[in-house]
Amino acid sequence: MDAGAIVNEFCAAWNRGDVEAIMEAFSEDAVYHNIPMAPMEGKEAIRAFVASFLGGMASGVDFEIKNQLVQGNLVMNERVDTIHMEKGPVALPVMGVFEITDEGKISGWRDYFDMKQFTGG
C-alpha cells in the first residue's frame, strides 16, 4: 500500500467530480472534518456532504497539491483548492491530514482552512 498514491488518486477523483470514486476511498467508519465545521462521521454522512458540495458548484473543484509528506499511514498535503462557484472561482489554501488504514482506505481526513476566505467574509 502506498498511502501517498491513495491520497493523490483521491484528490484526482475530486478534480473529476467523481462522487463514487471519492466515496470508495473511505472506510465505512471514516471521519471527515473540515475544521471550521462539525465533523462528519461514517460514509453516509460524508456522501451527503460531498454530493451537496459538488452539486453547489458551477463546474467543480480543482485540488492542486503543492507539497505532500507521507509517513507510514499518515499523509499531509498542502493544497490550493479552487472551487468554481456561480459567482466565480475561490482559491482556498488548505492543509489536509489523511489517515489511511492498512486496507488502503481513508479513515480520517481533516482539512484546515480559513472559513472567512471561503465565504468571502
Is 62 among the catalytic positions? no
At residue 50, the pLDDT reads 94
Is 111 among the catalytic positions? yes
**Cα–Cα distance between 2 and 87 in angstroms, integer?**
38
Angstrom CA distances, 69 to 82, 85, 98, 120, stand at 21, 30, 10, 30
pTM, two decimals, is 0.92
Q: Grid coordinates standing for 56? A: 453547489
At residue 21, the pLDDT reads 97
One of 2, 18, 62, 111 is an active-site residue; which one? Answer: 111
Domain total of the chain: 1
At residue 58, the pLDDT reads 64
CATH number reported for the structural domain that contains residue 62 in this entry: 3.10.450.50
On whether the CB atoms of residues 100 and 106 are closer than 8 A, the answer is yes
Mean pLDDT, the chain cut into blocks of 10 residues (121 residues total): 95 94 98 94 96 79 96 98 88 97 98 81 57
- Domain span at residue 13 reads 3-119
**Cα–Cα distance between 83 and 89 in angstroms, integer?**
5
Amino acid at 2: D
At residue 16, the pLDDT reads 93
